[in-house]
Copies of this chain bind each other. A is one copy, B any other.
Amino acid sequence: MKSPELNLCGLVAVRSRFEKDPASIKRLFFDEATGRKVGVICKALAAGRKVYRCVPAAELEKIAGSIHHGGIVAVIDAPKLRAPDARTVANWAAKRTPLVLLDRIGNAHNLGAIARTAAFFGVENIVIPAHPQAALPGEAAFRVSEGGLEQVEVWRTPDLAKLMRELAAAGYDVAGAAARGGKPVLLAGPAKPVAVVLGNEEHGLAADVERACTRLVTIPGSGRVESLNVSVAGAVLIYALLAGR
């Protein structure tokens, strides 16, 4: 069976992928202006006997399946999403690895934006549930992440609440973002490794996910608007609880 492919769009994403894993680029298409900036990548593809081609705008749009191709499209294998097992959890705990857990973030742009922020702050692991509502790291997410998804591994677990209980048992501070009722977030936190859990855009944390948190945190607001955008709330929490650990 042929593995599913994914179009990586935009110069930042393509360059970022090339720097990290040049062999993973299977084919490359670009417009004339962008082609002048990717000579090195084309040379590597030529050496690997792979297709790279300058194409007219209309064709590039068709290949990308979007007008948001940014002048260049690299075809790669879609990332395989591993499920974290007991060994992974033990390994994370031993290394005090900061984690971002997303409880059914449904909008791929939000997933991409959160991945960009996570990568910026050095958070290298994001976990999503195997749930039909959860956005996957596809083309839109890769584009919005501006190279962030190249720096982050996205894991997929069949049972997010169960994983959270395993993380708590392994010593994690599992901090769930609650729109209200949680403790206010400040910079300082407990000395444990931290997993930040962000809920669905509309519905927040699911009941079983909320129960599996070791604490709930709320970003103190003025009350004048109901909420922050989830990628903004995620950024504040990643900055406050995970950055620089």
| A183 CA / B117 CA spacing, docked (Å) | 19
* A21-29, A88-96, A118-126, A167-175: which lies at the interface: A118-126
Closest-by-CB residue of B relative to A148 is B225
Count of residues in A whose CB is under 8 Å from the partner chain: 34
C-alpha gap A128/B124 in the complex (Å): 36
**Which chain B residues border A145 with CB–CB below 8 Å?**
225
- The digit string for A18-38, where 1 denotes a CB below 8 A from any CB of B, is 000000000000000000000
Residues A120 and B244 in contact, CB atoms below 8 Å apart: no
Q: Is the CB of A239 within 8 A of B219?
A: yes
Ordered nearest first, which 9 A-B pairs have the shortest CB separation?
A122-B222, A232-B235, A151-B224, A119-B225, A120-B221, A187-B187, A236-B239, A148-B225, A147-B225
Q: Which residue of B lies closest to A152 (CB)?
A: B224
Number of copies: 2
Residues of B within 8 A of A186 (CB): 187
A148 partner residues in chain B, CB cutoff 8 A? 225
The answer to whether A120 touches B224 (Cβ under 8 A) is yes
Known A-B contacts A187-B186, A239-B239; A226 and B146 likewise in contact (beta carbons under 8 Å): yes
> Is the Cβ of B225 less than 8 Å from the Cβ of A120?
yes
Chain A 199-212 interface mask (CB, 8 Å, partner B; 1/0): 00000000000000
The B-contacting residues of A in range 224-242, CB under 8 angstroms, are 224-229, 231-232, 235-236, 239-240
